[in-house]
Amino acid sequence: MPERRHAGHRPSRPSLRRRLLTFLLVPVLGVLLLDAVLGYFVALAYSNRVHDSDLSDSALTLSEMIGNDALRGELTAQARFLLEYDPDGRNYYTVFSDRHGRLIGNAELPGAEGGVPTDGPPRLYDTALGRKPLRAAVMRVSSRHEPGDVLTITVAESLRDRHTRAREILFLTLPMQALLIAAVLCLVWFGVSHGLRVLDPLTARLSRREHDLGPIGEEDVPIEILPLTRTIDDLFARMRNMLGLQERFIADAAHQLRTPLAGIQLHVESLDNAADATQRSEALGHVHRLAARAARTSAQLLALTRTQAPDLPDHDGMAVIDLSTVVPEAVSMRVHQALALSVDLGYEGLDGACLVRGDALQIQEIIDNLVDNAFHYAGRGCTVTVSVSRDVDEFVLAVEDDGPGVADAFLTLLGERFFRVPGGDEDGTGLGLAIVESIAERHAAQVAFLHAAAGGLRVEVRFPAMTGKPTETTH
C-alpha cells in the first residue's frame, strides 16, 4: 500500500537565519569548551607556580633549621608538623650527609637527575614514590657544624592539592565566562535577525511588482546577494525575450494569416453559391492555393521564431562542420524540385575541407530558403548556382540566379520581415531572407545582397573560417 502522509505535514524549508545561527552558535559553543579546557590548564600552571614557590621555601626553611641546630637524627615536633602537614596526604623530606649518609627523613625519595650545585638555589623536579607522583625541591648546602661536609636536602609533596586549586580557580571563572558566552550568543542572535532586515526593502519592492520583468537594480541590494539578483535579472531578460518572441509571433501570424483565411472564407462562400461545376472547381482551386499559402506562412513564422530562441547555442558553443560536405548534400536534396520547375541547379565548391563553427541543420535551412527564394523570384527555366569559396579568412556561401534581379533601391530592404519586392508574386511570405539573416547572426556570419553577374540576385553568407586543428567535425 502506498505510504500515507498526514495532511498537515510539510517538509521543513531551508532557513537562512537557522543556517547562519548554526554556523555561528556551534563554533561559539566549541570555543566555550576549548576555553574551559585552556582555562583549566592555565589555572593548573598558576597553581604549579605557587606550589613550586612554596616547595622551594620549604627546602630553604629546612636548610635554615638544620643550620641553626645540630642534627641528632630528629627534628622538633613543630618542625616535623610544618614539613609533613598536607590536608590531602603527606609531605615528604629527607636530609643526606656526604660523610654520614641519611640523617633524617620520612621517605626514600629518588634523587634529581644531573648535578645540583652546592649552596645554590633549590632545584625543582618531578619524581614518584611508588605509583604516587610527586613534585620535589632539592638543594645542597655546606654543613655549618662539620666543615667539609655537604648536606643534600630534598622536600617533596603530592600533586593532588595542585589539581584541587586549579579546579577551584576554573569553577570561579567559568560562570563569568559562561555569562559572557551567553551574552555573545544573544548578540549573535540579535545581529543575524537584525541584519536580515536589510532584505526587507528589496522584498517589499519586488512584492509590489505585478507584470514587470525589468531589472531588479542594485541600489538597495546587499553585496552578498548581488550574484543572486543579477542571476534573476538575467532570467528576467530571457523571459522578456521569450515573451517578446511569443508576442511577435502572434502578431505576425495574425497579420500574415488574415488575408489567406479571409480569402478561404470568401471562396468557400463562393463554393456554396456556385451554379455549375466550373465555378466550384475555380473556388476549390483558390481555396487550395490559399491554404497552401497559409501553411507555408505558418511554417516560416515558426522557423523564424526557432532561429531567435534564446536557448540555442551561440557561435562558440557550436560544433565544427565542413561546408564542402554539408552544402552539396543540401543542394542535392533540391534537384527533384529543380527538375520539376525546369531550373538549372548547380554547385561550385572548393577542393578540401571548408571548416566553420555551426549547426548543419541551420546551414541547410539557409540553403533551402535561398534556393526557394531563387526558384520563386527567378521563375521557371532559370539558372541557380550554389557555391562555396574562400575570401581571406572567410568561407563564402553564395546563391545566385539569372532572374530579373532587384533594383538598387530595394537591395537594402531585403532581409526585413515581410518585405516583398514590389511587382513580384504575392504568394511569397517575405520571411525567407529574414530567416537567413537570423541564422547567420547566430553563426557570427554576415549576409550581403548583391547583383549577380548574369543580372539576377546574388546572396552571400560569409562564415568565419576555423583556425587551428578542429577536435570534432559534424557532417
The mean pLDDT value for 426-444 works out to 78
DSSP assignments along 132-182, one per residue: EEEEEEEEEEE-SSSTT-EEEEEEEEESHHHHHHHHHHHHHHHHHHHHHHH
Say yes or no to pLDDT of 12 above 80.
Answer: no
Share of the chain above pLDDT 90, in %: 11
Three-state DSSP class for residue 309? coil
CA distance 419 to 434: 9
Q: How many CB atoms lie within 10 A of CB 412?
A: 9
Residue 31 grid coordinates: 570555543
Torsion of CA 238, 415, 335, 455, to 10 degrees: -160
CA distance 380 to 386: 17
Label the pairing between strands 344-348 and 383-391: parallel
CA distance 408 to 110: 117
The mean pLDDT value for 177-183 works out to 80
> Could you report the per-residue pLDDT of 448-461, keeping only the tens digit for each?
999 888 888 999 99
Selected residue with higher pLDDT from 400 and 192: 400
Confidence of residue 387 (pLDDT cuts 50, 70, 90): very high
Say yes or no to pLDDT of 293 above 70.
Answer: no
> Could you report the per-residue pLDDT of 309-324, keeping only the tens digit for each?
555 555 556 789 999 9
The β-bridge partners of 266 are none
CA distance 277 to 284: 10
CA distance 17 to 397: 60
Confidence of residue 68 (pLDDT cuts 50, 70, 90): low
* Predicted TM-score (pTM) of this structure: 0.46
CA distance 155 to 84: 10
Residue 210 grid coordinates: 505585478
Say yes or no to pLDDT of 388 above 70.
Answer: yes
Selected residue with higher pLDDT from 171 and 323: 323
The mean pLDDT value for 321-343 works out to 91
